[in-house]
Chains A and B, each alone.
Chain A
Amino acid sequence: MMQPLFGAPEPSSRTYWHPGADVLSGYAEGAVDEIGRWSVETHLQSCSACRAAVSAHVDRARLARNRAVVLAMTATPDVGVLSRAASRCGIPDHVLRLMAATPSLRRSWLLAVVGVLTVVTGEAVLARDLWPGGGRVVAGGAGRPGLTELAPFLLVGPLLALAGVAAAFLPVLDPSYRLAVAAPISGVRLLLIRSLSALLGALMPVVCAAVVMPGPSWLPVAVLLPSLAVCAIALAALTTVGPTTAVIAAGAAWVAPLVWLGVTRFPAEVIQGDGQILSALVLIVATLVMYLRRDRLEMGLVR
């Protein structure tokens, strides 16, 4: 590949061989194999004559195109620490970028969620520490210490998860909604990518809040199933009604029994034995509905 020199070597040059004109033109056009490319590049570092010769062979239009591509790539950098962690878990780059457009995964949204949970948690802690009886006074609930003050958290936790998921598909929160609908990407896939990532994003602070809440140690686990069930109701309802109605229906499906239990019996029952079984059943049924009516889920974006 290396040919006898066609010009005198530089005094500082350590080589007495130069690539031929055909090799240099092939290198400029990207037609040289990898080993040849290394050889030429090593040589170019120490030979200004060959660098000048390569310049003469460079296709300026191609160079400009490549420059534009590099600029475009650097203008779309990696999308944050969490995304880099997700990338290490094997989530493809393009999926991460779809997630980055989900409003409920934005920092401002997550901060708002943390803010709400801080208020609710703080209220529960104050109720426990400042109210007579240290929060162990339970209306009609003797033997269930520390559960009464959980009511605000029980109301808010699953609703925050629902809000996060709703933000992943509500047209009013997606400025490029029409572009997403008109694109060939699977509507179901897009919906699930966004919803699941939003759900994870919302559940993490909810579970963390449950850990520091002045309730039973099983609270972080107990709040998971109802939260998943409420979000699944919203997604299943999307196969039948519009996005806003679906969210309202799912929210009502959580708030109504909670309020009813609060008035008539004991609000924390909603996350205890029977409540968990009911949540599991709702989750299974809603998932089945989503699967069986997935065509309508796709069309749900078209309304």
Chain B
Amino acid sequence: MTGNTHDAAAVRVEGLSRRYGDVRALDAVDVTLDRGITGLLGPNGAGKTTLLSILATVNEPDAGLVSVFGLNPRDRSERVEIRRRLGFLPQELGYHRHFTVAAFLDYVAILKEIVDRRRRAEEVARVLAAVGMERFGRRRIRTLSGGYRQRLAIAQALLGSPQLLILDEPTAGLDTEQRLRFRELLSNQPGDPVVVLSTHQADDVAAICPRVVVMLEGRIAFTGTPAALADRADGHVWIADERDERAYVSWRDSENRWRHIGERPPGGRDIVTPSVEDGYLLLCHAADAR
């Protein structure tokens, strides 16, 4: 069976559950992912990595359905077809440290069934240029800084111009400039791939994701646009000169005033326009309160 690569919902997940012993990592998750970038937000242990590893076919659910471009990962041949269209950056990517940068990418290209040496070299050159590491091909991986290793991790995911790009915390370890370059890189991916970007950085989501999914305790807590997530906190974010003990979360802002997130405060407070992060924090608090 060949899947339709231009389904309205390219990735569909229904009733997905996964347990690790007594821990319920995913609890009847339903979500659809369209082409374009979807940000996946959630605290540690929310089930993001489990969901992404199932989508990337490296893990199997206990129950539920997964459809990627109309293909079923439980079927062996369809699973291979999904993998042919996949670029995957796991949360903790290890390296063969004795490899050079180019040799590592070459190795991953072979894993992706690019056997012709010239074509592999073209792909390696392309992704190295994409992450700004053209001059690093001969460098041993063990000599790279953390930021460059993360760039290399992103580069390997781009090999073969995948139609489904699953990135588990790709901006971890990147400095501000590198994060901006990463946003630019992701926004310019050819072929309009499905990109799933798991992150703790709400500003990354606000900057490049037209759609955001929030996971809490193994469930989908929110699906919508970043603006809609921010709107969740409308009227719940205020600024005051003193710390308000009734707020769920408070911190000093750049003007040395207290920014609060919580239930609507009594009159006389400075209500401010909420950000995506405010909406996310409010959702997290609501989950904690349950």
Contacts and interface: CB of A to CB of B under 8 A. Distances in A.
B112 A101 contact: no
Contacts of A68: 125-126, 128-129, 134
A181 B138 contact: no
A54 to B, nearest CB: 23
Contact of A75 (B60, B101, B108, B110): B101
Contact of A184 (B83, B95, B117): B83
Interface stretch (A92-100, A200-208, A240-248, A252-260): A92-100
Binding site secondary structure of chain A: helix
Interface in B97-133: 97-108, 110-113, 115, 117-118, 120-122, 124-126, 128-129
A236 B93 CA distance: 28
A75 B135 CA distance: 10
Contacts of B101: 75
Contacts of B8: none
B57 A182 contact: yes
B110 A179 contact: no
Nearest to B83: A184
Interface string A267-280: 00000000000000
A182 B118 contact: no
A183 B108 contact: yes
Contact of B111 (A70, A74, A179, A295): A179
Binding site secondary structure of chain B: helix
B52 to A, nearest CB: 10
Contacts of B57: 181-182, 302
Contacts of B108: 176, 179, 183
A176 B93 contact: yes
Interface stretch (B84-92, B199-207, B223-231, B253-261): B84-92
Interface residues of B, number: 49
Contact of B94 (A175, A183, A184): A175
Contact of A73 (B76, B104, B117): B117
A184 B112 contact: yes
Nearest to B73: A302
A85 interface: no
Interface string B63-78: 0000000000000100
A72 B90 contact: no
B137 interface: yes
Given A72-B137, A76-B106, A179-B108, 13 more contacts: A68-B129, A72-B122, A93-B117, A94-B110, A97-B103, A97-B106, A97-B107, A179-B88, A179-B93, A181-B57, A184-B83, A184-B112, A295-B76
- Top 5 closest A-B pairs, CB basis? A175-B94, A75-B102, A75-B137, A183-B111, A68-B125
23 contacts: A68-B126, A70-B121, A71-B134, A72-B125, A72-B137, A75-B103, A98-B110, A100-B103, A101-B99, A175-B95, A175-B97, A176-B93, A176-B108, A178-B58, A179-B108, A179-B156, A180-B111, A182-B58, A183-B111, A185-B113, A186-B80, A302-B57, A302-B60
Interface of A: 65, 68-76, 92-94, 97-98, 100-101, 106, 174-186, 190, 295, 298-299, 302
